[in-house]
């Protein structure tokens, strides 16, 4: 199955993509994770996008589209994939339509209050890409999956979160209508606990 996870920053795309990946056996393709890996390794791409990502802006469409196009051509995507954080603009969505036939776009609907609460407590593991919330961690510094050192994402500072939400509303929100017009949109209430939201997603995925 070829699934897109749509939703504002902090709506739970990464958390749900990780669970879906384990259950469905298809890879999670997170453009945010790809960019953070390049930042960490200080690759030429990482250096080019450093200020954009840490400021909450969007990496240029042509760079992002090329990365996703190449990634989706790899063998592990042959039976499907979960796109987490792509597409994020109409230009990206239209480009994707030219090289992939998507089955379903799941829109995680969450209020801004919930988003701010989630992002202010988020911890990220740069070693295994795990995402957690301090409220569920016994030690806020140690990854419960791989033992790596947890960090706070650069772009989770309050002013950057507000900028990400602004850009989401302006550039990404119109994709909800784009996939609705294609008859591929399902909207899921993204508030509530992780297991509750996850079950809602499983119920609406096409069989």
Q: Considering only residues 2, 19, 118, 184, which one is a binding residue for ligand AP5 as defined by CB under 6 A? A: 118
| Residue 177 beta carbon to ligand AP5: minimum distance, rounded to whole angstroms | 18
For residues 89, 90, 95, 99, the Cα torsion angle rounded to the nearest 10 degrees is 90
Active site residue 122: yes
Q: Is 190 in the site for Mg ion (CB under 5 A)?
A: no
Active site residue 199: no
Q: Is 162 in the site for ligand AP5 (CB under 6 A)?
A: no
Q: Catalogue the long-range contacts made by 41-44 (C-beta closer than 8 Å, 24 or more residues apart).
A: none
| Residue 207 beta carbon to Mg ion: minimum distance, rounded to whole angstroms | 26
Q: Is 14 in the site for Mg ion (CB under 5 A)?
A: yes
Distances (CA, A) of 69 to 29, 32, 40: 11, 15, 22
| Residue 181 beta carbon to Mg ion: minimum distance, rounded to whole angstroms | 26
**Binding positions for ligand AP5, 40-69, rule CB under 6 A:** 52-53, 56-59, 64
| Residue 22 beta carbon to ligand AP5: minimum distance, rounded to whole angstroms | 14
Residue 60 φ/ψ region, left for φ over 0, alpha for ψ in the -120 to 50 degree band, beta for the rest: beta
Q: Is 130 in the site for Mg ion (CB under 5 A)?
A: no
86/93 Cα distance (integer angstroms) = 8
Q: Which of 5, 11, 6 is nearest to 113 (CA)?
A: 11
For residues 1, 143, 112, 19, the Cα torsion angle rounded to the nearest 10 degrees is 20
55/160 Cα distance (integer angstroms) = 6
Q: Considering only residues 11, 28, 38, 129, which one is a binding residue for ligand AP5 as defined by CB under 6 A? A: 11
Q: Closer to ligand AP5 by CB, 184 or 200: give it.
A: 200
DSSP 60: P
3-state secondary structure of 150: coil
The pair of structure tokens assigned to 105 is 């776009």
Active site residue 153: yes
Q: Is 32 in the site for ligand AP5 (CB under 6 A)?
A: yes
| Residue 84 beta carbon to Mg ion: minimum distance, rounded to whole angstroms | 6
Active site residue 166: no
For residues 126 to 155, the per-residue mask of contacts with ligand AP5, x marking binding by CB under 6 A and - elsewhere, is -----xxx---------------------x
Give contact residues for Mg ion (rule: CB under 5 A).
14
Q: Which residues are catalytic?
A: 13, 88, 122, 153, 164
């Amino acid at each position: 199955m070829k699934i897109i996870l749509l939703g504002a920053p902090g709506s739970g795309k990464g958390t749900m993509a990780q669970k879906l990946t384990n259950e469905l056996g298809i890879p999670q393709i997170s453009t945010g994770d790809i960019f953070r890996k390049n930042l960490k390794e200080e690759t030429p791409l990482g250096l080019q996008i450093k200020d954009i990502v840490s400021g909450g802006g969007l990496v240029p469409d042509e760079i992002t589209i090329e990365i996703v196009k190449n990634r989706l051509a790899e063998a592990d995507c042959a039976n499907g994939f979960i796109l987490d954080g792509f597409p994020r603009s109409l230009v990206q969505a239209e480009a994707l339509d030219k090289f992939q036939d998507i089955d379903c776009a799941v829109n995680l609907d969450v209020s801004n209050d919930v988003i701010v609460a989630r992002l202010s407590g988020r911890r990220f593991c740069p070693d295994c890409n795990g995402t957690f919330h301090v409220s569920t961690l016994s030690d806020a510094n140690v990854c419960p999956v791989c033992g790596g050192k947890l960090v706070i994402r650069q772009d989770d500072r309050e002013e950057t979160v507000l900028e990400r939400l602004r850009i989401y509303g302006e550039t990404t929100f119109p994709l909800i209508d784009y996939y609705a017009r294609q008859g591929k949109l399902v909207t899921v209430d993204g508030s509530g606990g992780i297991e509750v939201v996850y079950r809602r997603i499983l119920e609406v995925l096409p069989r």
